[in-house]
Amino acid sequence: MERTNEQWISDLRSSGIAQDEALEDLRVKIRKGLPYSLSKWLTPSDPNFDALADEVVQETLLRVLDHLESFEGRSKFTTWAHKIAVRVALTELRRKRWEDVSLDELVQGDEGASGFDRIAAMTANPDLSAEQVDIMGRIQQVIQDDLSEKQRTALLAIGVHGMPIEEVARRMNMKRNALYKLLHDARLRLKKSMATEGLTPEEILAAFEQG
């Protein structure tokens, strides 16, 4: 018989057999739903799927137990738990995507070049106007000259290459809040330098949008 929301909460808060059975039932339900929920990112036929699914289910059960008090009952309990599982899975997929990429590679480039591969690619776009090419070149120069090494690393990894902030914080051995502060300071310094260069935020955004 399917548990009600109240029964799920009660059983998971208990101890002994009732909790063990509830955890096993929830494990089965979460695992069964993952192939469909993750189909856009990873198919069950992928050799990495089973290992990922096992990790996700285990982590999800721990998070569910830790956050039972946050369940508000506005949906089925299993729906709430499954949403947690999907978030855990996507975070893990993003982490694995960057597993073999070092911050040095993102900042310095594969051959120790400028480290602005994406900006350089945009600048080389023949459809860009001379003004857009000039703006992008000046942005690159400001990032290189006016930011500290830490600020430059964080900004390039997160803002240009799209590495998840949690992964950058882990790689830089920083707490998430400290990394937010570092990025905030970097953006303020960039804004000031851009103003000195005579560039408005609108011009900068327009250059990237056209790229």
CATH number at residue 35: 1.10.1740.10
pLDDT tens, position by position, 134-144: 777 777 778 88
The answer to whether residues 154 and 182 touch, using CB atoms and an 8 Å cutoff, is yes
H helical segments located in 38-148? 49-66, 77-97, 103-108, 117-123, 130-146
Structure confidence at residue 138 (pLDDT): 76
What is this structure's pTM? Answer: 0.55
Shared domain check, 122 and 77: no
CB-based contact 6:57 (threshold 8 Å): no
Of 83, 84, 81, 97, the residue nearest 42 (C-alpha): 97
- What domain range is 79 assigned to? 5-97
Low-confidence ranges of the chain (pLDDT < 50): 110-115, 123, 210-211
Residues 132 and 86 grouped into a single domain: no
130 and 89 in a single domain? The answer is: no
Choose the final residue of a domain: 64, 97, 130.
97
Q: Are residues 41 and 129 in the same domain?
A: no
CA–centroid distance for 40 within its chain: 17
Looking at the fold, whether 112 and 205 belong to one and the same domain comes out as yes
Q: What is the pLDDT of residues 83-97, one digit of tens each?
A: 999 999 988 887 777
Cβ burial, residue 150 (10 Å; 0-12/13-18/19+): middle
SS3 label, residue 114: coil
